Amino acid sequence: MAKDYYGVLGVPRTASAEEIKRAYRKLARQFHPDVNPDPAAQERFKEINAAYEVLSDDQKRQIVDLGGDPLESGGGMGPGGPAGPGGAFVGFQDIMDAFFGSTTARGPRPRTRPGSDAILPLPLDLHETAFGVEAPLTVDTAVTCQTCKGAGTAPGTHANTCEVCGGRGEVQTVQRTFLGQVVSSRPCGACGGYGTVIAAPCPTCAGDGRVRSRRTLTVKIPPGVEDQMRIRLAGQGEVGPGGGPPGDLYVEIHERPHDIFSRKGDDLHCRVTVPMTAAALGTRLTIKTLDGEETLEVRAGTQPGSTQRIKSKGVPHLRGTGRGDLYVHLDVRTPVKLDAQQEQLLREFAKSRGEEVAELSKQGGFFSRMRDAFNGHA
């Protein structure tokens, strides 16, 4: 019994050539091995190909309509599926190209291309990031070759049209498939896809159109920048191949640690040690800020870990007006060693406040009673 090729493609016997082609295209998208790795899909794809080969040929389709099978005698491609050189499957993209045309970009590659961006770290002190600075930079980047002005050719010469591709920058290959001839393109190996060949390269840049050079720039750092921020200098990056337009240079801020201040955004923080007596009685301290010295009043009874704020003594805001604040963290220091007189004065002070202080050298004091309480003694 002859195979139902119409049924394989899912079209009626009255289907037009365009309807058959459309049905095949839909099924090929679904069952091609490049798209569907299922082994069953590969067998299905072979059947689809065989059906399309028959029904797309007027003479073979006429045989089918008369009840015969044009592939039974081994003519045509048979159920093995479309094959290229060596019997390999034609790629899915080749099938799509046969229907829609190749999507490969045409024309030679340009020798002149834009350059890439460059990043340069810039270490700065806190005072410089806070108030801004004009900093000199030494930049090592690619610049346009002055010998050939970016052309890449030796003086008095020019690039020649490639004899292999004729200046197209690509060569074409023809592959025979069940759909006919499929033409594919690839970059020309002789000229690298440029379409031209430089027979006499520039002796300075070896044909690249650019050379490395060290130069000095001055960058203006605005007040309020932070660590890891980047400042863009347009057109100061790498010159592109063939003397192409340069990229941008990004200056990355690296803020050095400060001996006194730590920074959180636009606010500054520092720690100041205050004697116990000064914290209890209150005092005035002289604090160093980014602007100079500032007087800080420590209120009587200040507790350890207290923080006081000095307004607008932080870092200027990068965007907008005003400044952050300075936060002073107070560490209350307890005396480590006391002479006999100082110890006696402290005990009298504690007694006057009704605070019992145990003497570590005597038994039965306050801590001794605490120990007995934990041990269950009355």
At residue 246, the pLDDT reads 94
**For the domain 262-333, what is the CATH superfamily, name and number?**
Urease metallochaperone UreE, N-terminal domain (2.60.260.20)
Location of structure tokens 């491609």: 77
Residue-level pLDDT at 78: 39
Q: How far is CA 217 from the centre of its chain?
A: 27
Q: Is the dihedral of CA 270, 273, 279, 282 positive or negative?
A: negative
**pLDDT at res. 42:** 83
Are the C-beta atoms of 275 and 281 separated by less than 8 Å? no
Alpha-carbon torsion (84, 90, 95, 97), positive or negative: negative
Query: Are the C-beta atoms of residues 159 and 112 closer than 8 Å to each other?
Result: no
Burial class for 131, CB neighbours closer than 10 Å (0-12, 13-18, 19+):
middle
**Class assignment of domain 113-154+205-257?**
mainly beta
Task: Retrieve residue 59's tokens.
Answer: 């003479």
Phi, psi of 325, deg, nearest 5: -110, 165
| Other Cβ atoms within 10 Å of 119 Cβ, number | 11
- Do domains 5-81 and 113-154+205-257 share one topology? The answer is no
- Which phi-psi region, left, alpha or beta, contains residue 183 (left: φ > 0; alpha: ψ -120 to 50)? beta
Per-residue pLDDT of the chain (378 residues; tens, 9 = 90+): 568 899 999 999 999 999 999 899 889 888 877 777 788 888 888 888 888 988 988 888 888 888 778 776 444 443 333 333 333 344 454 455 444 444 444 678 899 999 999 999 999 999 999 999 999 999 999 999 999 999 999 999 999 999 999 999 998 777 666 555 666 788 898 998 999 999 999 999 999 999 999 999 999 999 999 999 999 999 999 999 999 999 999 999 999 999 999 999 999 999 999 999 999 999 999 999 999 999 999 999 999 999 999 999 999 999 889 999 999 999 999 988 899 998 899 888 888 988 877 776 544 445 445 555 555 543
Cα–Cα distance for residue pair 164/172, rounded to 1 Å: 11
**What pLDDT is recorded for position 148?**
95
For the chain, what are the domain ranges?
5-81, 113-154+205-257, 262-333, 340-374
State residue 75's pLDDT score: 42
Angle, CA 287 vertex, CA 285 and CA 289 arms, to 5°: 165
Residue 195 region, left (φ>0) first, then alpha (ψ -120 to 50), else beta? left
Phi, psi of 54 (to 5 degrees): -75, -50
Distances (CA, A) of 343 to 39, 300, 359: 94, 22, 11
Q: What's the residue count for the chain? A: 378
Q: What is the CATH number of domain 5-81?
A: 1.10.287.110
